[in-house]
Structure 1
Amino acid sequence: MKIAVVNWRDPWHPQAGGAETFAWELARRFARAGHEVCFATARAPGQARSERAEGVRFVRMGGVFTVYPLVLCWLLLRRGRFDVVLDCQNGIPFFTPWVVRRRTKVFCVMHHVHDRQFGVHMPGWLAAFGRFLEGPVARRTYRRHASVAVSPSTVRAMRERLGWEGPVHIVPNGVSVARPSGVTRSLSPRIVCLGRLVAHKRVGLLLDAVPQLRERWPGLTVDVIGRGPLEDELRARLPEGVTLHGYLPEEDKARLLARAWVHVSASQGEGWGLSVLEAAALGVPTVAFDVEGLRDAVRDGETGWLLPEGTELAKGIGAALAEWDDTYSVKCRAWADRFSWDRSAELLTALMLGREVEAGWEAR
């Protein structure tokens, strides 16, 4: 097949996150299987306009907002070239059905519904416009096309909050982490937080909890791994015991993860929570709020702890640290082993070829 993957950013963009990991891990596997894959995306300063990596051709154009019309124009000029378009929604989709041939298969790939996050990141008028595009406009545009979601939470949100009516197939994230040798769990309580430093991740809630936790465990330390627009703001208010590492290579990231007792996500909602599975693959359970996506990625009482929204985070983390033992590590690794990028690529390939597929998610 000739496949176009259109995504807001590529995996080397300075603001790349889980959505970019999903798009790239699948794209490289499609290319490896012999398909022709073109990845159209925005261009960050210093990035080449065009290059090839692992058989995938990258074309970059535009910035945060201009990438959308530019990609549509690019596709319109090549409307007869592609058999399949994977239209990845990062707040709003690219609306590619407007410019491709009717017989071209378009899959809207939905990580999570952004309606509640628009108000966190944008002024009121722009947030309202974003909700209009994500809701009524997208619902009508993709009504004749199948969609792909990464979790049951995302499917429910699409149905209930966006009024999505077309078929939605679950293709979960895989997990791939470095496996450092010679790394042992820290003797004193150690917390890790992995993810982009943006408003809806609410890393500040974790920083606020640290002084109270250190009253009980004076040697407690926290590693925050990730980068984003809030990095300078968070770095200016780091309490004692907290290190903000920024971006780390995979091996270094895995070493810090493997030393932690627990991983913490204070996010107000995710499509899935890729960082949860990365931690679980190294035997580290997660403390998170019981919100969309994270309630799918964390198996409460087995691979972590889900806190009701509004719970004081310090108390939730404290209870988890007091309860933690090696049985959580064993269950975490077993849970992470159920997910692989190869399996996700197989599921999506079958959908693109029009084949019947087994459910990509085991109900629980």
Structure 2
Amino acid sequence: MKILLLNWRDPLNPDSGGAEIVTLEHAKAWVQHGHDVIWFTSRFKNSSKEEDLNGIKIVRYGNVMTVYFYAFFYYFFSGNKFDLVIDEIHGIPFFTPLYVKKPKIAFIHEVAGEIWNYMLPFPLNLIGRLTEFLYLKIYKNMHFWTDANSTIDELVKNGIKRENCVAISCAISNKTLSKIPVKENVPTFIFVSRLVRMKGIEDVIDAFSLILEKENKARLWIVGGGSDVYVKFLKNMTDKKGLSSKVKFWGKVDERKKLELMSKAHILLHASVKEGWGLVVIEAASQYTPSVVYDVAGLRDSVKNSKTGVVISENNPKKLAEEALFLYKDKERYQKYQEQGVNWSRSLSWKNITSQSLNMINKYDKKN
């Protein structure tokens, strides 16, 4: 089949994230099994208009806003006859139901919902929420592909038929450790994500200040990049709370360093508004580091509560701190979660995961 994959970013874009990593793994598998994949996306500074990535043809037009407009013209005038279109949604869809008559799948990592309130000021946040509400009406008869069952629940609440939805978990690309690594000699908590408000870093810092009241030698590592303005805000926040000597901002690091820090930390903390899946949770588990997370879509799927980590019952810094301390101090339970977390991460191989998406798209292959 010839597949058109519409995504506002591609994996080589400096602003790409976990969603693009996941999409790339699936697209690579499709190419390896004989399908032609064109990834239509936006341009970024010094990017090529076209290039090959693991057998996938990357085509770039416009920016992250205008790419939706250019996609319409590319579909009709590129000279390609597509058999299947993957409409990957990041807040705004490509509105393919309005012009694509061929088979199509909506690939959504999360229903944004309240995320709009964290990412945009009033009244733009309301416009975002209204846009999402309206486009889901347009997409009501589409087939949806997502990462987590909890996202399917949210789609159903928004009028999408459950029988039109499929959840395919995300795997990790790194190797799982074969034995428990040496951890830091003081209680060390880690947060790994892009530094934006919706990822919950402010709640994690608040939770850590409460942890310090019980464990005054504790440390917090913040791993990930963000805008200069927001990082400065977070550093000022830690200063005002008297945490500067206890909190380290590592910034954006490479994969090797990220996994090294995960392996040395005791517990990963995550307080996101919601996630598509929570890939960092699985990565941390592969390094024998359990997670304590908010009970939100995505995170409640990637963390097996009371088996590989803790999904807290109340989403607030106080409860996050309490559960993190309980787990750290309960050595028997902590080691149990370490072992079960590693086994959970091992079960999520890309070979197994991509076979599911291959089965999904092959249903649209007229050759079968």
* TM-score of the superposed pair, with normalisation by structure 1: 0.89
C-alpha distance after superposition, 1:119-176 (max 9, x if no partner): 2212333323322332233332x3343111211110000011x211360011111122
Is the Cα–Cα contact under 8 Å of residues 148 and 276 in structure 2 kept in the other structure? yes
Cα 1:211–1:122, aligned 2, differ >3 Å: closer, same or farther?
A: closer
* 1:18 Cα deviation after fit: 1.9
Correspondent of 2:304 among 299, 307, 313: 299
Q: Distance in 1 between matches of 2:317 and 2:310?
A: 12
Q: Distance in 2 between matches of 1:130 and 1:78?
A: 30
Is the Cα–Cα contact under 8 Å of residues 174 and 344 in structure 1 kept in the other structure? yes
The equivalent residue for 1:249 is 254
Is the Cα–Cα contact under 8 Å of residues 87 and 94 in structure 1 kept in the other structure? yes
Correspondent of 1:336 among 337, 345, 348: 345
Query: Given residue 4 of structure 2, which amino acid in structure 1 is its aligned partner?
Result: A
Aligned: 1:352 with 2:350: no
Report matched runs for 1:128-277 at 5 Å: 128-140=126-138, 142-160=139-157, 162-165=158-161, 167-178=164-175, 183-229=181-227, 230-238=230-238, 239=243, 240-277=245-282
The equivalent residue for 2:113 is 115
Is the Cα–Cα contact under 8 Å of residues 104 and 142 in structure 2 kept in the other structure? yes
SS at match of 1:21: helix
- Between 1:237-246 and 1:181-190, the stretch displaced more is 181-190
The equivalent residue for 1:21 is 21
SS at match of 2:174: coil
* 1:311 Cα deviation after fit: 5.2
SS at match of 1:351: helix
SS at match of 2:73: helix
Aligned: 1:55 with 2:55: yes
* 1:218 Cα deviation after fit: 3.1
Cα 1:266–1:79, aligned 2, differ >3 Å: closer, same or farther?
A: farther
Correspondent of 1:316 among 323, 329, 354: 323
SS at match of 2:123: helix
* 1:262 Cα deviation after fit: 0.6
The equivalent residue for 2:81 is 81
Query: Given residue 203 of structure 1, which amino acid in structure 2 is its aligned partner?
Result: I
The equivalent residue for 1:358 is none
Is the Cα–Cα contact under 8 Å of residues 108 and 148 in structure 1 kept in the other structure? yes
Instruction: Give the gaps of 5 or more residues in structure 1.
Output: 356-364
Query: Given residue 52 of structure 1, which amino acid in structure 2 is its aligned partner?
Result: D
Q: Distance in 1 between matches of 2:337 and 2:17?
A: 26
Q: Distance in 2 between matches of 1:203 and 1:263?
A: 12
* 1:46 Cα deviation after fit: 2.6
Q: Distance in 2 between matches of 1:83 and 1:205?
A: 46
Cα RMSD of the aligned pairs, angstroms, is: 2.2
Query: Given residue 26 of structure 2, which amino acid in structure 1 is its aligned partner?
Result: L
Q: Distance in 2 between matches of 1:79 and 1:135?
A: 34
SS at match of 1:115: coil
Is the Cα–Cα contact under 8 Å of residues 22 and 173 in structure 1 kept in the other structure? yes
Identity of matched residues, %: 28
Cα 1:144–1:292, aligned 2, differ >3 Å: closer, same or farther?
A: closer
Q: Distance in 2 between matches of 1:145 and 1:212?
A: 46
> How many residue pairs align between the two structures?
352
* TM-score of the superposed pair, with normalisation by structure 2: 0.88
Query: Given residue 323 of structure 1, which amino acid in structure 2 is its aligned partner?
Result: D
Query: Given residue 163 of structure 1, which amino acid in structure 2 is its aligned partner?
Result: G
Is the Cα–Cα contact under 8 Å of residues 87 and 96 in structure 1 kept in the other structure? yes
Is the Cα–Cα contact under 8 Å of residues 15 and 227 in structure 1 kept in the other structure? no
Q: Distance in 1 between matches of 2:133 and 2:350?
A: 29
Q: Distance in 2 between matches of 1:17 and 1:349?
A: 22
Q: Distance in 1 between matches of 2:175 and 2:219?
A: 22
* 1:180 Cα deviation after fit: 7.3
Q: Distance in 2 between matches of 1:138 and 1:193?
A: 33
The equivalent residue for 1:360 is none
C-alpha distance after superposition, 1:44-70 (max 9, x if no partner): 223222211111111222223222112
Q: Distance in 2 between matches of 1:318 and 1:87?
A: 42
